[in-house]
Amino acid sequence: MTDASRRYPDLSVRILDPRFNALRLPLASVECLYQGTRWSEGPVWFGDGRYLLWSDIPNNRMLRWDEESGAVTPFRRPSNNANGNTRDREGRLVTCEHLTRRVTRTEYDGSITVLADRYLGKRLNSPNDVVVKSDGSIWFSDPTFGIEGYYEGEKQESELSACVYRVDGQTGEVSVVADTVLGPNGLAFSPDESVLYIVESRGTPRKIRAFDVAGDGRTLTGDRVLIDAGQGTPDGFRVDIHGNLWCGWGMGTDELDGVRVFTAQGEAIGHIALPERCANLCFGGRHRNRLFMAASHGLYSLYVNTQGVKGG
């Protein structure tokens, strides 16, 4: 913990626009909950058990942080180089796996159901991030990051272009919803699910694109750039009940590493500085007002004056 995070207000919670004042708590500071990962990703909150799960991709494991004791224990090892995680509308864990190139669901009894591993008979690349819509459909990004080398998976040939897919919650049918995003990465829906945001991580600079969800709830229209990241590196992100985007951010500098907060119009209003790059985050705690941040080597948290969208 830095000296800044011992003071109130925490100097690492930076105001870029006065509108951020309403979202911060003057008597809350950034807390380091764990250190010891190689690349933290995919945090997901389990309020019914009061614990958080997250992925440590290169170490091929998933970890569990317990809210009551603060203890960190192994949850799944090997994890098939798991990356993004979320819960479906029945509370089951949904996971993107690099090594097996698939999206899975962990059932109540611990068994694993494969939700998607192929499209048109060809293997997926390395599913990265995943969100579940209120209709039960599962949307995930599938870049090639996990098959480009041996650090976050195994080097393999790509059989499909990098796309964003939708798995129908009733039939299990897999369909392409976006195929023009360069290196699709983090995903999040707006609070009313009328917009899907997608991080484009192979563009220069990186961007966060916004798509309108069509009336059928199954297709996307109106592709546009919401945020030009400049020198920043958006990765995973979540949306609060007011529509603000809380984005994992960083590029190895004090000014960039941490979490960057944007309005629904793409205006930067706040920054939570961390001593390392943040890859992904989620809201949790009893009231969904505790931000959990999976950074390079560790896990951090900060109480905020807003709540994450349900299901996010």
* Residues contributing to the annotated binding site for substrate: 128
Q: What angle do CA 262, 19, 133 make, to 5 degrees?
A: 40
Structure token pair of residue 218: 């199954």
Q: What angle do CA 293, 257, 294 make, to 5 degrees?
A: 20
| Catalytic choice (142, 235, 240, 257) | 235
Identify the three-state secondary structure at position 96: strand
Structure token pair of residue 58: 């290169």
Structure token pair of residue 162: 């990098």
Q: What angle do CA 153, 166, 235 make, to 5 degrees?
A: 50
Structure token pair of residue 300: 């951090």
Distance CA 47, CA 60 (A): 25
Identify the three-state secondary structure at position 5: helix
Q: What angle do CA 294, 212, 144 make, to 5 degrees?
A: 45
Residue 156: count of CB within 10 angstroms of its CB = 16
Catalytic: 109?
no
Distance CA 14, CA 219 (A): 37
Q: Which of 54, 56, 6 is nearest to 30 (CA)?
A: 6
Chain-centroid distance of CA 206 in Å reads 16
Structure token pair of residue 159: 């059989």
Distance CA 280, CA 83 (A): 10
Distance CA 238, CA 154 (A): 28
Q: Which residues are catalytic?
A: 235
